[in-house]
Amino acid sequence: MPTISIEQKLLKHLLARHGLEHDIEKMAYELPLLGTDIDSCNEETLDIEIFPDRPDLLSGETLAIAIRPFLHGTKSKPGLDVEEGSIQMTVDPELEHIRPVILGAIVRDVETGTTPQEKDAFIKSLMDHQEKLHFALGRGRRRASIGVHDLSKISPPFRVQAVPKTTAFCPLASSEEMTLQEILERHPKGVDYAHLLKDMSKYPIIFDSNNEVLSFPPIINGNHTTVSHSTCDFFIDVTGWDRRACESSLMLIALQLAERGGRIESVNVTGYDGKVEQLPQSIPLEHTVTERLLDGLLGRSLSDEEISYAINRMGGEYLGRERATLTTSTTVTKMSDVIEGDIVLKFAMPRWRFDILHPVDLVEDIAIGHGFEDLGEDVPKAPLTAIPRTDNHIRRRLRESLQGLGLMQIQSLTLSNDFDQFEAMRWPAMGEVTRITNPITIDHTLLRQYLLPGLFRLMATNRHHDLPQSVYELGTVIRDHSNSERFAFLVAEQSGGFAAIRGRIQALLNDLGATEYEIEPLSGKMGPWLAGRCAKVVIKNVHVGCFGEMDPAVSQQYELSVPLNGAEFDISALESVLTDPV
């Protein structure tokens, strides 16, 4: 999950502007429901983990906007205060097939701090927010990319054109001009994002009225528009392929600046199709939920007062209820499943709430805002008779044996990433890797093939606790897009060596009734094992698992400096060679 660091004095200042008091204990107790969790806290800073489904909380300023109604009961404001502006931005028709969505906004009179240190912290937080949105909403700048410029250094009106790759300008953090082709081949940002413009004969460029280059989206800004200590007026451009992601990104950056006293001003954008829009839009989005869906999922009916209170805490506004007519049921989104005669609940929600995709998302918001402790009780209406798993007995025997050895069972996420699964562990991929098409976070990009990486992560999180620490997991891994059952354990202890881990394996095999087995040395450096202090277990010519001491070089990848030993076994392989006494 992404983590943001917020200065305590900034949060106190943002709340004090609205007559509210910073209450760290209340935040720690209630923030997890909102989609955040305090990771660490000291007198100066708060490190807060943001759940992947709430990209609108990725800056201290936008988080402050969300917690005011949620923690302090203030009236929510789902709309955006936007003053009508006169600045124009025109998009070349050629951009339709290069980067069709082009949006812009102005924010003036932003309070960036009074000291150089405060101004530096503001610029860092602005850039950090921008990069987090590039990942969370922009999918690595493909769907949306953001440019933030010092408005005093550029001259409107602006135009976005498709230009040849020989066009040159001075990119950010450079003192010399480079052609677009040179930027893609030599500049660090160009190398990182060149794939987004692959096979294109022309590239997008944003010019001002003096033909100065503001930005080469989605790669890099021009050097002369760099935000500095003196910047108080900002121009924001957002370009991409996904209209919703671009609009949310534009509004969230504008909100961050507005929360620091800035005034948002609209930009008149003439799109590639000639259509003129004033952006960003000020009115919230209207959503509908049927009373039937709300009551069915929550298990009880809520009054208008309860619904209004709950949705206000989540930043929205309850607009009332009405009975659906034939016209209503055909014009409302299909996902609402509205039929004639239904009671329809109407809500106004912020446009920047990118996570609201379906009426069920609003039901969840209402449940969170109301509180889960008072939603009534219910029992299953369908028979839920369980059928035992075919590997039930061996899994039970494994758990009893491992717990008898003093290990504690844990359950880690099935989602993992290349670094944990393969790079850090030095394991190869076993068959095809099942990857997530649109990962929300870089920590969760694929379905795991091994269990030990999850145990390493757990040990790393608990490295400040006393030794010994002994954990195990029985879980599912996915190899060649098929499920496979495995178990693994990891022990951190000062006296742990190969003799200790071998003793545990022999005790485990004895508990499982394995009377004949071979313990053979492992060759090479594949896996996390320490060379010469690891082995594999073979039963009836079947390789069932490996065990040994962990290589300190692997442990250091997770900032672990204590001796570790562990094992990982294939449950299906064990089941195939061991007799089930039951």
CA 401 – CA 403 distance, rounded (Å): 5
Q: Cα(285)–Cα(471) distance, rounded to whole angstroms?
A: 48
Specify the pLDDT at position 332.
47
Give me the CATH number covering residue 561: 3.30.930.10
What distance separates the 2 farthest-apart alpha carbons in the chain?
84
At 336 the pLDDT is 54
Examine the domain organization and report whether 311 and 325 are in the same domain.
Answer: yes
Domain that residue 257 falls in? 82-279
3-state SS of the chain: helix, strand, coil percent to 5? 35, 30, 40
Residue 383 lies in a domain: no
SS3 assignment for 540-572: CCEEEEEEEEECHHHHHCCCCCCCEEEEEEEHH
Q: Same domain for 86 and 220?
A: yes
- Determine the Cα–Cα distance for residues 9 and 47; give it in Å rounded to an integer: 14
- Separation of CA 304 from chain center: 33
Residue 398 and residue 529 share a domain: yes
Nearest alpha-carbon partner for 103 in 256, 262, 286, 244 = 244
Are both 223 and 190 inside the same structural domain?
yes
In a domain, 381, yes or no: no
Q: Six-digit token pair at 353?
A: 């709430």
Residues of the chain with pLDDT under 70: 1, 326-337, 524, 581-582
235's tokens: 């121009």
Residue 399 CB partners (closer than 8 Å, separation 6+): 409, 474
CA torsion sign, 160 to 165 to 169 to 172?
positive
For 226-246, letters b (16+ CB in 10 Å) and e give: ebeeebbbbbbbbbbbbeebb
411 and 343 part of one domain: no
169: tokens are 């300008």
Question: How many domains does the chain divide into?
Answer: 4
Tokens representing residue 487 in the block? 């178990």
Domain boundary among 343, 373, 403: 373
CA distance to 222, 339, 360, per residue, from 328 (Å): 49, 8, 19
| Assigned domain for 57 exists | yes
234/292 same-domain check: no
How many other CB atoms are there within 10 angstroms of residue 320's CB atom? Answer: 11
In a shared domain, residues 134 and 193 = yes
Q: Which of 253, 279, 305 is the last residue of a domain?
A: 279
pTM exceeding the 0.85 threshold for the entire prediction: no
- Radius of gyration, alpha carbons of the chain: 28
Show Cβ contacts of residue 68 under 8 Å, excluding neighbours closer than 6 positions: 15, 18, 20, 74
Identify which of 159, 173, 166 has the alpha carbon closest to the alpha carbon of residue 223. 173
For 43, what's the count of Cα atoms within 13 Å in the CB-facing half-sphere?
0
CA distance readout (Å), 572 to 69, 447, 453, 542: 52, 19, 20, 11
* pLDDT score of 428: 92
In a domain, 255, yes or no: yes
Using the 3D structure, point to which of 317, 342, 373 is the last residue of a domain.
373
How distant, in Å, are the alpha carbons of 56, 62, 100, 259, 516 from that of 252?
A: 7, 7, 20, 10, 64
Would residue 387 count as lying in a domain?
Answer: no
Cα–Cα–Cα angle for 125, 128, 134, nearest 5°?
Answer: 145
Q: What residues contact 62, with CB distance under 8 A and at least 6 apart?
A: 56, 129, 252, 255, 256, 259, 352
The CATH number for 291's domain is 3.30.56.10
Residue 467 neighbours by CB distance under 10 Å: 14
Tokens of 225: 């528009």
Residues 122 and 247 in one domain: yes
CA-based nearest residue to 178, from 213, 128, 151: 213
Examine residue 384 and state whether it is found in any structural domain, yes or no: no
Q: Residue 503, exposed/middle/buried by CB under 10 A (0-12, 13-18, 19+)? A: exposed
Q: Are residue 146 and residue 257 in the same domain, yes or no?
A: yes
Asked if residue 298 and residue 190 are part of one domain, the reply reads: no
Angle at 576 between CA 573 and CA 581, to 5 degrees: 125
Q: Cβ distance 552 to 574 under 8 Å?
A: no
Q: Which residue from 345, 465, 367 is spatially nearest to 408, judged by alpha carbons?
A: 465
> Same domain, yes or no, for 267 and 301?
no
List, edge to edge, every strand of the sheet that includes 3-7: 3-7, 45-50, 36-41
| Residues 97, 208 within the same domain | yes
